[in-house]
Structure 1
């Protein structure tokens, strides 16, 4: 009887141990559930969650792992995009977007308005070039990134926005109210330039977006109807975009079936890309020049390579950027997207231009003042001061022909004399200090100089070649 009771106790104890092991073992395994099929990644994930004294947000850890994998590819064009970043990228290539319609640049930690888009909410509210954005909806923007500012400015159509800006030209703060609306994004613009009794069509493509092919068709057909004798295609500073858009452009310039590029996948298999169009290539006999510079990349280089290798146009300017890969974007379950390089693209002569670029047939460097970036600076400086702002003033004045002894950012007597002369000639009042009025005047001077086509050396060389070709 006693033995049977002992046996019963032992049996109950074993059952209890099994229950405890099953319960806590299951809980433990659920806690250590991995995030991948890779043991080492799961080990690192669990260790960081358990031991790290800093952030343990699983979402951030997973996103960090994805970014790390793309960085390991050593390809700057392969990257992970959060949901917000993916939406912003798609919007940049879209036909239209909701916003206030303004171009902004960041300079010395400040957000400066380059220009509002004509007839946009920002334009109608009175926002002006060189205004400094101070607050958006009562939230100060100093210390924020450009992405954070864009997020503040973004919103649904019809929603209102209050912006406080500092207007240096008036030395005062201004509060502006505007309502977000749909902004049409145009990527193609055109005009006719008359020279030597010839009409030259100039078409500028800022990037290859969703509707670039349609815009190109409308603009160039209008030019043909007006009787142009030659065509200048300007893709300077064009960062690229959609391959189908550049294919539409090329299809109007060369006969159907012309090879304009090759695609090569990871296994080395080549695919020939040929022009396809439902209408006749109405520009195929128009003498053409393409302008490019170091900022012309990706799809812009596909266009340049197609025109150059098929002897369809002369390339004028500088060597292009050198991006010879094509990216595909794949959606992820967390709302983000993975953009990875899946193909190389080659020119019609099967040259891979990656990190080399496409050389111009006629290499032309711009004049110093024309090549200079427009900067929107602020602050006050006097003799003895040192800084990048002073260096910029020295460079502009030197390019304008003033006698500047140094351009290293040190405010010396030579700089003071040049500033005094400039201020007198521009009716800025007596004085030798650098201030907001001087910065604004210099910016306007550079802008006016760059706006005159006769100062655009690359354009003038391209037009000169076309006139010579037309007269032959």
Structure 2
């Protein structure tokens, strides 16, 4: 990775030291604003990088019973269910002084200096305790006494009480075995909404109790000392201090954390090329059912007869019902040329089906394109999975390649798919927006320590094809910059679902006292062309399109569902393409083909992409409108 992407921090060596002999850092940033890294949010390469406070585990870890993974991406590192997860921190040295350096970097560079230090220290302490196991939890004593009286959570609050300070207003609760066992059940969207509100209210209440304790540095150090003293032989002090730092950062906002260098490099490599050996299918989990969401076109799963909607019940004769999705994925994948037999249940078929599939090498890259098909001649479709280095140049090459493949030698229009694109480098978002814009503002970045930086489009080498953009709740960060830039500059129409709503910028800061990890710290907000921040609110599509023809819009998971996110800022409403959408809507209603294409093949193996074909209908009508305007 180029040095300027790292946002190097220099320390001034000397005799500045705190009262315990640790070197005190005098930090001077070397900025390269056009290379500010906007790191991938939530998960990247299958690894969750957002760290939540252990004390809020019961509240923060809530998820609806639904999971999804791609065998096309297939990043599960387990060779079998007994193999441990990859340990990215095994060789990293991190202790008390490294933790203090993290706090100093927060003081120097974090976007909000008014963050709640009580919650930060409490979160750090709880995360340190969590290294000992899930049974240890730090809680305010008044809150513990109140919750213990609840009959519906009796087991939740049973256990041994430990006091590291007899005068403190908090206790360590050593839970009984099975304290956190939960019944897995499928929930409706309304039930999930209700549960999310309940959890947020409990979290708000818990934070209120913590603030009354005035938990601080001294309390934190007592808890860490307890954790170190009571750790098992297999737990290092390194691990405890790393966890404490992640807990502290996680309380600032959901996107600040420590990132191991190994995880960072692996994540970038997997985005660049996520090719693998397997069957090529997208699976999802609902309750205990493993469901084929869609086989990949032209890959072994489709060729062997696997269909969208099939429920997998066995892999090579082994019953997999009740297993987590990633464990099932690990059983299905394998070397190319080898066979796997899936036993599936299919709607309308009375008996179970056994489908033998020969695994193959399946190519998955960060940017991939194809011509849409005979229904929409010479319209290109390009999928962008993330914003890593050279993404824009790869996108340009894909578009030029599609132009050469087209029947006429020219592309009539372009569909840019950024669904489930979690973001990446800010610089690449700027370059990609600039690729499609001749003029206009792209993005403005505002931090605590610098004057606002505005980025505008430049003329030259622009691709000015008529285009539409696909987004959903998984479209985040850098991808939202591109979506808002082309939408608000009236360059393209946006289709799908409201985006994630992450409008903060993180910088990767290398440590001065250690190596093998990065401090990922939120230090700026970004604003769209019309001056609005997308934080929490996201990009609203010009046309809302559900994933299924007759379905409803999924509930989704967005920034507002994360805890401790930066608040949204009031903004002026913007619907820049409203008149055009209304005009094109008349044409689509009369001439649109998405529903007809779906109806013509109801027994399809591959799931029909309704959002894609509905966007193509609007693009087709836009092309016809442009032709008519030229004639007039």
Which runs of 5 or more structure 1 residues have no equivalent in the other structure? Answer: 1-32, 375-442
Give 1:171's aligned residue.
352
1:187 pairs with one of 367, 372, 376:
367
Superposition deviation, residue 450 in structure 1: 2.8
Give 1:296's aligned residue.
475
Deviations 1:297-347 (A, max 9, x none): 222221122223333233445543322122334567585554333332222
Contact 2:392 2:432 in 1 (8 A): yes
Contact 1:287 1:470 in 2 (8 A): no
Contact 2:386 2:424 in 1 (8 A): yes
Contact 1:94 1:209 in 2 (8 A): no
TM-score of the aligned structures, taking structure 1 as reference length: 0.59
2:455 pairs with one of 261, 265, 273:
273
CA distance, structure 2, for counterparts of residue 159 and residue 363 of structure 1: 42
1:313 to 2:496 alignment? no
CA distance, structure 1, for counterparts of residue 403 and residue 474 of structure 2: 29
2:626 pairs with one of 455, 469, 472:
469
1:104 to 2:289 alignment? no
Pairs within 5 Å for 1:178-327:
178=359, 183-192=363-372, 201-210=379-388, 212-224=391-403, 226-255=409-438, 259-267=441-449, 269-275=451-457, 280-281=461-462, 283-284=463-464, 286-327=465-506
Contact 2:415 2:469 in 1 (8 A): yes
1:64 to 2:243 alignment? yes
Pairs within 5 Å for 1:53-452:
58-73=237-252, 75-81=253-259, 86=264, 89-100=267-278, 102-115=281-294, 130=310, 132=312, 134=314, 145-146=324-325, 165-169=342-346, 171=352, 178=359, 183-192=363-372, 201-210=379-388, 212-224=391-403, 226-255=409-438, 259-267=441-449, 269-275=451-457, 280-281=461-462, 283-284=463-464, 286-329=465-508, 335=516, 338-360=519-541, 362-366=542-546, 369-371=549-551, 450-451=608-609
Contact 2:302 2:605 in 1 (8 A): no
RMSD between superposed Cα atoms in Å? 4.7
Deviations 1:213-238 (A, max 9, x none): 24422332245552334434343444
CA distance, structure 1, for counterparts of residue 306 and residue 260 of structure 2: 31
Superposition deviation, residue 120 in structure 1: 6.6
SS at match of 1:369: coil
Superposition deviation, residue 72 in structure 1: 0.9
Contact 1:331 1:337 in 2 (8 A): yes
CA distance, structure 2, for counterparts of residue 93 and residue 341 of structure 1: 22
1:46 to 2:221 alignment? no
Question: For residues 127 and 65 of structure 1, do their structure 2 counterparts lie closer, same or farther at Cα, with a shift above 3 Å needed?
Answer: farther
Contact 1:48 1:56 in 2 (8 A): no
CA distance, structure 2, for counterparts of residue 79 and residue 337 of structure 1: 9
CA distance, structure 2, for counterparts of residue 145 and residue 339 of structure 1: 30
CA distance, structure 1, for counterparts of residue 516 and residue 219 of structure 2: 25
SS at match of 2:410: coil
CA distance, structure 2, for counterparts of residue 89 and residue 457 of structure 1: 33
CA distance, structure 1, for counterparts of residue 319 and residue 516 of structure 2: 29
Deviations 1:243-295 (A, max 9, x none): 3443343333223x754212223325322334569x622x23x3333344444
| Structure of higher CA gyration radius | 1
Contact 2:468 2:495 in 1 (8 A): yes
Question: For residues 45 and 364 of structure 1, do their structure 2 counterparts lie closer, same or farther at Cα, with a shift above 3 Å needed?
Answer: closer
Deviations 1:181-232 (A, max 9, x none): 674425332325678xx95624242423445424422332245552334434
What is the number of residues matched between the two proteins? 359
Contact 2:437 2:458 in 1 (8 A): no
Deviations 1:377-400 (A, max 9, x none): xxxxxxxxxxxxxxxxxxxxxxxx
Contact 1:264 1:271 in 2 (8 A): yes
Question: For residues 65 and 334 of structure 1, do their structure 2 counterparts lie closer, same or farther at Cα, with a shift above 3 Å needed?
Answer: farther
Deviations 1:120-160 (A, max 9, x none): 78789997764637569x998666655566677889xx799
CA distance, structure 2, for counterparts of residue 220 and residue 76 of structure 1: 35
Question: For residues 149 and 171 of structure 1, do their structure 2 counterparts lie closer, same or farther at Cα, with a shift above 3 Å needed?
Answer: closer
Which runs of 5 or more structure 2 residues have no equivalent in the other structure? Answer: 1-94, 101-216, 555-600
Contact 1:264 1:345 in 2 (8 A): yes
Question: For residues 370 and 242 of structure 1, do their structure 2 counterparts lie closer, same or farther at Cα, with a shift above 3 Å needed?
Answer: farther
Give 1:412's aligned residue.
none
**Structure of greater relative contact order (alpha carbons < 8 Å, 6+ residues apart):** 2
SS at match of 2:247: helix
Give 1:428's aligned residue.
none
